[in-house]
Amino acid sequence: MSGLLTAASTLTCPHGGSVTAIPSQGRMRLNGAPVVLATDTFVVAGCPFVPVSPQPCVLVQWQLPAARGSSTAAPTLTQDSVGFCVAANGAVQGSVLIHAADTSVEGL
């Protein structure tokens, strides 16, 4: 299985903005950081995307969470998960880039 995503994982929008996960649970952790779920909030900050009018990425919507494994009723996310960065007007701006994930579970 690919590495699980945690609140400490490094994610960016396709334009270089930073993605911050806001975990809804804290029970399942990897290296001290909460595992994030497909239903958690992922906020994008610092996206410089300005094609014709400013449309920076502001959120991530997950379309393909982990095929197996869940810490709750909501699916977990791995390096293989697919999420799309979305502008405030709902326009899809591209796929979230996952740069780092964790592979060692500390506890449940």
What pLDDT, on the 0 to 100 scale, is given for residue 1? 46
> Average of pLDDT values for 14-19?
95
In the structure, what pLDDT confidence band is assigned to residue 69 with cuts at 50, 70 and 90?
Answer: low
- Is residue 31 left, alpha or beta, with left meaning phi > 0 and alpha meaning psi from -120 to 50? left
Residue from 97, 63, 62, 73 nearest 25 by CA:
73
> Average of pLDDT values for 15-20?
96
What pLDDT, on the 0 to 100 scale, is given for residue 82? 92
DSSP type of residue 106: -
Q: Please tell me the least confidently modeled range out of 12-21, 44-53, 61-70.
A: 61-70
pLDDT of 107 higher than 50: no
d(CA 56, CA 47): 5
